[in-house]
Chain A
Amino acid sequence: MSGAARPLAALVAGLTFGLGLALSGMLDPARVRGFLDIGGAWAPSLVFVLGGAVSVSALGYGLSRRLPRPALAQTFDLPTSRRIDAPLVLGAALFGIGWGLSGFCPGPAVAALSTGAAPVFVFVTAMLLGMAASELRVRRSPR
């Protein structure tokens, strides 16, 4: 397995993701909050973002099911858990509150670091702290 192929593929995929976010309007927290504002002047355009993204992603997933392994790695590394538990629901609920407060979710926030805007750095720093806090919790819990 050549050493540079996987990081290079990841770089191209990341660039495509960031370009897609920029084109789609997801980097604009006011637009994202407008999409979440169903009781106000609802801005539906993010339905097109998610619809387009899930469609192509589903095609890729369908294709992956017919392949023995990925082109540049040994195995498809997919989550296997099917358990609907309290951490899943609580975590998603807390994430949604933070998303609604700010209009930022992790992808657009990380991509927006390149704009150099100070508020983005405030958000991403706090996000990293929140992630670190969650990692500590996992390490302490018995399972």
Chain B
Amino acid sequence: MDTHLPALLGGLLIGLSAATLLLLNGRIAGISGLVAGLGRPGERRLADLAFLLGLILGPPLFAALAGHWPLMRIEASWPVLAVAGLLVGFGTRLGSGCTSGHGVCGLARLSPRSLVAVPVFLATGMLTVALMRVAS
């Protein structure tokens, strides 16, 4: 139970960020798209870089406010992390979005593509975790 309130408050902040970026800059807060876009020159690149810099500075800001770093338990081995990273990078570009672009922003817009993508990545994510538990 004690994790639900921070989860909700954190979610509200994430939504506030997406709303801010849209209303001020007219931009979708899709992290995979912003990261991949850094490889392409354009007038938006500086602002996108600034967003990602802010994103990276978020956990240190949390640590300064809360007095401790956020919990981060990484169970996967390095080879598994490498394979997972490749799949996440390739898959989010092929599918044009991730948890933020399709999830936080796409669902809010009732985008038909996001209404398909989110259940698909939730399903394969759940299936992967289930298979790993059976195998171990």
Residues of A within 8 A of B (CB): 6-31, 33, 36-40, 43, 45-46, 48-61, 63-64, 67, 69-79, 81-84, 87-107, 109-115, 117, 119-120, 122-135, 137-138
Tell me whether A73 and B58 are in contact in the complex, defined as CB-CB below 8 angstroms, given that A52-B12, A100-B132, A123-B84 are known contacts: no
Interface of A is mostly: helix
Q: In the complex, which residues of chain A have a beta carbon less than 8 angstroms from the beta carbon of B87?
A: 94-95, 97-98, 101, 130
Contact A57 B132 (CB under 8 A): no
What is the bound-complex CA distance between A109 and B81, given in angstroms? 11
Q: In the complex, which residues of chain B have a beta carbon less than 8 angstroms from the beta carbon of A51?
A: 8, 11
**Which residue of B50, B58, B89, B108 contacts A54 across the interface (Cβ within 8 Å)?**
B108
Given contacts A31-B71, A109-B88, list 15 more A-B pairs with CB under 8 A: A7-B46, A7-B47, A22-B59, A22-B61, A23-B13, A36-B125, A37-B130, A79-B111, A96-B125, A103-B76, A104-B81, A106-B99, A126-B89, A130-B90, A131-B39
Q: List 14 A-B contacts (CB under 8 A).
A: A6-B24, A13-B54, A14-B56, A26-B10, A45-B4, A56-B18, A57-B22, A60-B108, A94-B87, A97-B91, A98-B87, A101-B132, A114-B56, A127-B35
Q: In the complex, which residues of chain A have a beta carbon less than 8 angstroms from the beta carbon of B129?
A: 33, 36-37, 40, 100
Residues of B within 8 A of A (CB): 3-4, 6-29, 31-32, 35-36, 39, 44, 46-63, 65, 69-76, 78, 80-96, 98-100, 102-109, 111-113, 116-118, 120-130, 132-133
Tell me whether A30 and B73 are in contact in the complex, defined as CB-CB below 8 angstroms, given that A57-B108, A60-B108, A122-B85 are known contacts: yes
Contact A130 B88 (CB under 8 A): yes
